């Protein structure tokens, strides 16, 4: 009787262990080349976390591995989407960046925005270095520094101290504004989820939100677009200097 109980408890324990390491199981499937199984494992982990509203930054690893598994299956669109989502959780994850860049080289569309300016690109790249909350904290700290500097300037006796405090205050005010704007931009990006990935192999963007519209340009799987408007089943997207309507089901918001 005792033995049976022991066996049952061991079994339960093992079951619990396995349940906890769904991630490990999926990783094992991946390492054995069983990518389809790995994909379903990772997807399940993510949907569970989303249901519990506990999609922490650690899930960046899950998204990253999911992206790898999709790439191995040849699904470039899904792969790019997963990497993008991983980077939303951990913007400075090197491997995800590397792999995203790698997979983006393998998609059909090469987006060459002729209007972009290097400084703008640089600022965007800088903004994407941190998450919204990081920028917010940075902004708050700078704001507080600004206030302190202001007080020191007003209350200080020594001319040098007052001088330093004054410069300190206006520089931190500007930086606080900049970081605050970055935080706000990221906030609206994550709230409205305007960026999307094309999931369909080939999509024709139309001039109007219906099937009879004129085909304006063609997009391929994996291309990143910005949704500027939605109407019924249609979304207006923008890629570089191109703008057109695409059926929403062909897209997946990041």
Residues in the chain: 254
Q: E strand or H helix at 76, and its extent?
A: helix 76-89
166 touching another protein, by CB under 8 A: no
3-state secondary structure of 249: helix
d(CA 156, CA 166): 10
C-beta of 52: minimal distance to another protein in Å? 5
Residue among 73, 171, 178, 187 that touches another protein (CB under 8 A): 187
From residue 137, how far is each of 56, 142, 144, 180, 182 by CA, in Å?
18, 9, 11, 9, 11
Which x/- pattern, by CB under 8 A, does the window 94-133 give for another protein?
-x--xx--xx---------------------------xxx
The nearer residue to another protein, 167 or 249, going by C-beta atoms, is 167
Asked whether the CA dihedral 251, 88, 229, 124 is positive or negative, the reply is: negative
Q: Residue 163 in contact with residue 149, Cβ under 8 Å? A: no
Q: Interacting stretch for another protein, rule CB under 8 A, among 5-13, 108-116, 117-125, 144-152?
A: 144-152
The nearer residue to another protein, 49 or 240, going by C-beta atoms, is 49
C-beta of 71: minimal distance to another protein in Å? 6
178 touching another protein, by CB under 8 A: no
223 touching another protein, by CB under 8 A: no
35 touching another protein, by CB under 8 A: no
Calculated CA dihedral for residues 48, 52, 54, 60, nearest 10 degrees: 20
78 touching another protein, by CB under 8 A: no
3 touching another protein, by CB under 8 A: no
């Amino acid at each position: 009787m005792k033995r049976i109980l022991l066996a049952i408890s061991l079994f339960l324990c093992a079951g619990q262990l396995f349940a906890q390491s769904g991630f490990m199981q999926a990783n094992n499937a991946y390492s054995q080349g069983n990518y389809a199984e790995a994909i379903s494992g990772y997807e399940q982990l993510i949907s569970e976390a989303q249901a519990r509203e506990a999609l922490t930054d650690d899930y960046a690893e899950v998204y990253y591995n999911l992206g790898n598994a999709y790439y191995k299956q040849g699904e470039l669109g899904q792969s790019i989407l997963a990497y993008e989502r991983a980077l939303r959780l951990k913007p400075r994850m090197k491997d995800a960046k590397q792999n995203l860049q790698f997979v983006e080289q393998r998609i059909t569309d090469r987006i060459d925005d002729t209007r972009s300016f290097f400084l703008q690109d640089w600022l965007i790249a800088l903004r994407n270095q941190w998450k919204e909350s990081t920028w917010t904290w940075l902004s708050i700290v700078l704001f507080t520094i600004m206030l302190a500097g202001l007080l020191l300037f007003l209350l200080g006796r020594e001319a040098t101290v007052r001088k330093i405090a004054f410069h300190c205050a206006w520089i931190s005010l500007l930086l606080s504004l900049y970081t605050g704007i970055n935080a706000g931009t990221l906030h609206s990006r994550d709230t409205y989820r305007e960026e999307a990935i094309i999931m369909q192999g080939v999509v024709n963007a139309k001039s109007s939100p219906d099937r009879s519209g004129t085909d304006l340009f063609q997009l391929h799987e994996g291309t990143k677009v910005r949704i500027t408007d939605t109407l019924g089943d249609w979304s207006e997207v923008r890629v570089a200097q191109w703008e057109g309507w695409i059926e929403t089901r062909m897209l997946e918001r990041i």
